[in-house]
Chains A and B, each alone.
Chain A
Amino acid sequence: MSDAAAKIAVLRASLAQAGLETLHKHARVPLGHHETDLCLHGGLERGALHEIFAAGTHETAATGFAAALGFRMAGKKRLLWIRQDFSALEHGELSATGFLEMGLDPSRILILRVADAANGLRAAGDALSCAALGAVVLEIPGEPKILDLVASRRLTLACAQKNVSAFLLRFGAKPQASTAETRWLIRGACSSKNEDWGNPVFETDLLRNRHGRTGHWVMQWSCENGCFRAADCGAVVSATCDRPVATEFGAVA
């Protein structure tokens, strides 16, 4: 019996070691928003799968959040954005000038148009084997059957192999169990009512964090500096969207 107990102790130790290793194996990329970075042990893990869900019809906010994270993750490398034909019709085509205005260089984006989720997953698997890519964004509208635990496990493994990060951008889907490192629920937040309103402000819910706590923050993407920061004063919003709304047109130009 003591033999078995010793064995179990050894196994436990090696497991703990492995856990620590996975925690420190890959570099982490800070978002710039202090509280979030603290919660994420320094930032988003590179070479892992991250899921970004659009809350309700906040698809464009989720797109912006994914773009911002993708570019931060990619650094100087390229970003491959895999999107389905349906998504472009329903939620709009990705716009180069839009990326540019967010301070993200459009020449670093490659776009792959695919017909369905199966092709998208396949292409993502292939692209994740290319270490020269910085990140892969896979945009999937709806809840296709093919996107199950096996598919997400496969993506996670592919990410870890060449240390390329993947972002699964989901529209019109309910968050469900997967092997993702983090899972975010994104909705757009109201801008502060000053002269320069309209910066990308996100109300983010970190629903899952494999190596830490979850949380809820309102972050603003700073187009100028290319990082997240706390939203401008006055833009602090309640978690629900049925808050009273100012009706005066204070900032009409």
Chain B
Amino acid sequence: MAKVENALRLTAVDRKAAMLGLEPGMPLANARAMLPALKVVTADEPADRKLLAHIADWCDRFTPFVACEPPDMLLLDVTGAAHLFGGEKPMLDQIREKLSKQGFALRAAIAGTAAAARAFAHYKDGAIVPPGAEEAAIAPLPIEALNLDAITTHAFRRAGLKTVGQVSARARNELTARFGARMVFALDHALGKAEKPISPRIPLPDYMAEHRFAEPIVTEDVIRATLHSLAEILSSVLEQRGEGARRLEASFFRADGAVYRITIETSSALRAPNIIERLFREKLDALADPLDPGFGYDLIRLGAIRAERCAEQVIGFDADANEEKEIRFLVDRLAARFGSNRILAFQPNDTHIPEAAFVAMPAQYAQNAKWECDTKEAPRRPLRLFARPEPVQAVAAVPEGPPLRFRWRRALHDVVLAEGPERIAMEWWRHQDLQASRDYFRVEDSQGKRFWLYREGIYERETLAPRWFMHGMFA
């Protein structure tokens, strides 16, 4: 029950209620008048969507191409998948049987196009229509099977066109003139004459391999062995196409319907089965909540979500190339365990702002960069840099001079040597609001610690009370 058009109406009815004459869309008051003992539950649309998504996940085991059509429909593209289950009929029976066992009521049909399948599922449960036979099969169905809007359907009924066959017998130009091209397309789609792609819920892998088990598997050893054999299959396919995977996904389908998906990324196109298996092992080991096999998995699938060209490499005696490969493997392993944003490499950045002059980016995507520097004199930039400069209380002899002493983290430092200021103006061409320039000082205290301090704002021009900050420390 839900509030629709300012009235409480039924949104769905169970089998018993339907037999007693209730139907969706009926006002609650009418229903109560017919059946005073009616049990009503408030509709919870998000929960319904979630349930549908779960069922879609479960259906993933039949084909990776599953689309959700809320409120209550799933579209499965079974092209090329049916033979794995012994044909379309056994497949449909299997889906029906397994979902019924889980307590769902369902209607299902297989047809050449999505619209035709929808029509049969609603009005001729269990139909399996071979390609090309849609037109004949759909003709006796009522006009509502086309899933047109209410006004169009009503108009057809008024005109005495009660079945799909009667409508399709009319000339197309008449229909287009009266109802528009969209309606004609919907008709053609249902008749199997026009094709409209369905969009899958999750991106389809470029390549995939899967293994089904007659008995659900539980032990880790078997899971690993399976992943390895799947990786071998995948790798031979990738090799034939001269490609390698950059992102791989392993899906574990548990017997009770739960689906786990685990993704790994690699820093270079990869197709060596043992490396793929090793990376997944790292990832599985590092999972915060480990895979719970429960009653076991009955299907494991390995897919290459993103593949790219991978030049055939001659295994040479070139030590450098081998080293580079080993480093990449290490980076991938660490990324699989700790996350790819945790293993970083430095890249130069073209700016004079000290904290932005370099970026530490994920090593998996980093390029080899060239750094150039003149190291004839003592370091001018600190080795450790605070991401957030810390406020410092400093005393200076003159407002624009170096500090004499300063207090940082409750410790007092006496400045022995100081050099500066090095004035760094902020990038006014990037930021709208004007930021104060910074006067940097390199100082050394009496204990041999070297600091990098700055004073924010130029005295008298930008501010009268400049503040001091600690930005970094030298070795």
Interface residues, chain A, with chain B CB atoms under 8 Å away: 57-61, 63-65, 67-68, 77-78, 80, 88-89, 91-103, 105-107, 109-114, 119, 123, 126-127, 130-133, 187-191, 193, 196-203, 221, 223-224, 237, 241, 245-247, 249-253
Q: Does B317 contact A (CB under 8 A)?
A: no
* Residues of B close to A203: CB separation below 8 A: 448
Whether a CB of chain A sits under 8 angstroms from the CB of B337 is: yes
CB distance from A169 to the nearest CB of B (A): 12
A201 x B448 contact (CB < 8 A): yes
Q: What is the chain A residue whose CB lies nearest that of B322?
A: A132
In-complex Cβ contact of B373 among A100, A193, A196, A246 (8 A) = A100
Segment of B12-20, B222-230, B411-419 engaged in the interface with chain A: B411-419
What are 16 A-B contacts defined by CB distance under 8 Å? A59-B384, A60-B475, A63-B384, A96-B358, A102-B383, A107-B345, A107-B371, A109-B346, A110-B331, A111-B343, A127-B334, A133-B327, A133-B330, A198-B442, A199-B378, A251-B419
Taking the complex as formed, is B247 at the interface, i.e. its CB lies under 8 A from any CB of chain A? no
Task: Flag if B414 contacts A245 (CB, 8 Å).
Answer: yes
Is the Cβ of B450 less than 8 Å from the Cβ of A98?
no
Evaluate contact between B323 and A107: CB separation under 8 angstroms: no
Task: Confirm or deny: B449 has a beta carbon within 8 angstroms of a beta carbon on chain A.
Answer: yes
Chain B interface secondary structure, helix, strand, loop or mixed? Answer: mixed
Question: Roughly how many angstroms separate A132 CA and B402 CA in the complex, as a whole number?
Answer: 46
| Inter-subunit contact A191/B444 (CB<8 Å) | yes
Q: Is the CB of B442 within 8 A of A106?
A: no
- Counting chain B residues whose Cβ lies within 8 A of the other chain, the interface size class is 35 or more
Evaluate contact between A97 and B381: CB separation under 8 angstroms: yes
A114 to B: closest C-beta gap in Å:
6
Given contact pairs A60-B383, A188-B475, A221-B475, A101 touches B330 in the complex (Cβ within 8 A): no
Q: Which residues of B contact A103 (CB under 8 A)?
A: 373, 375
User: Closest 7 CB pairs between A and B?
Assistant: A64-B475, A92-B384, A98-B383, A101-B379, A96-B358, A198-B378, A132-B326
> Across the interface, which residues of B come within 8 angstroms of A95, CB to CB?
358, 381-385, 472
Contacts of B450 in A (CB 8 A): 60, 188, 191, 198
Report Cα–Cα, A247/B474, bound state, in Å.
Answer: 21
What sequence of 0s and 1s flags, for each residue 364-406 of chain B, a beta carbon within 8 Å of any chain A beta carbon?
0000111101011111111111110000000000000010000
By a CB distance below 8 angstroms, the chain B residues around A63 are 383-384, 475
The one of A111, A131, A132, A198 in contact with B379, judged by C-beta atoms closer than 8 angstroms, is: A198
Chain B residues within an 8 Å CB radius of A132? 322-324, 326-327, 330
Cβ-defined partner of B419 (8 Å) among A112, A126, A253: A253
Instruction: Tell me the minimal C-beta distance from B239 to chain A in angstroms.
Output: 25
* Cβ-defined contact, A100 with B345, below 8 A: no
A49 to B419, CA, bound (A): 38
CB A109 to nearest CB in B, in angstroms, measures: 6
B148 within 8 A of A: no
Q: Are B448 and A100 in contact (CB under 8 A)?
A: no
- For residue A13, give the distance in angstroms from its CB to the closest CB of chain B: 38
Which residue of A60, A110, A199 is within 8 Å of B449 (Cβ)?
Answer: A60
Interface: B357 (CB within 8 A) = yes
The answer to whether B444 and A190 have CB atoms under 8 Å apart is: yes
Besides the contacts A127-B330, A191-B450, what 19 more A-B pairs have beta carbons closer than 8 Å?
Answer: A63-B384, A93-B360, A94-B384, A98-B475, A99-B383, A100-B373, A101-B381, A103-B373, A106-B369, A107-B368, A111-B344, A113-B342, A130-B326, A132-B327, A189-B448, A197-B417, A198-B379, A241-B446, A241-B447
Q: Are A101 and B380 in contact (CB under 8 A)?
A: yes
**B473 on interface, CB distance cutoff 8 Å:** yes
> Is A253 a contact of B447 with CB atoms below 8 Å?
no
Are the C-beta atoms of A252 and B418 separated by less than 8 Å?
Answer: yes
For residue B190, which residues in chain A have a CB less than 8 angstroms away from its CB?
Answer: none
Contacts of B379 in A (CB 8 A): 98, 101-102, 198-200, 223
Q: How far is the CB of B81 from chain A (nearest CB, A)?
A: 40
Q: Give CA–CA (A57, B334) in the complex, Å.
A: 31
Quick one: closest A residue to B383, CB to CB? Answer: A98
Q: For B323, what are the chain A residues with a Cβ–Cβ distance below 8 Å?
A: 77, 132
